[in-house]
Amino acid sequence: IIGELPCEVEVLASHVILPPQFWRSFYVVHRGKAFFEDLVSFMSGGRTTHLVGYGEDVIRRVREAIGATDPAKAAPNTIRARYGRSVTENAIHASDSPASARFELSCGLTGLLDYGYIDLKRFIELKDRFLKDEGMEDE
């Protein structure tokens, strides 16, 4: 799936298992929705790969390539249409705005550090590269 993304990609960590409390923070915008606990359970029940995509107009291009959240409604040949099983198990997550990208990357990096998947040096390197004070560039 990573090779199908229309952007440059930095893999932050592969084959990571993060606990429910991480996913509750990561998906905080969905707290209170009917699918929230199923999503948390699914995400904490297996390995995930964490990455950041970058480049010109990256959010729009990636969202177009992955398709609608519901794989049954995703355009043919999009990642979710091909690999997704349901709205909860839709194969891939991608930020929908610069603000959510910034939050999700910050939350993700902190989680990867807290749970030992990256060290402090790598955390600082990635934070400095992707979370500059003036905001994310090439959004």
Q: Where are the alpha helices (DSSP H) in 27-133?
A: 36-44, 58-66, 79-83, 98-114, 120-130
Which residue out of 15, 30, 50, 93 is catalytically annotated? Answer: 93
Q: Which of 68, 96, 94 is nearest to 82 (CA)?
A: 68
Neighbours of 23 (CB within 10 A): 21
30 is known as an active-site residue? no
Active site positions, annotated = 93
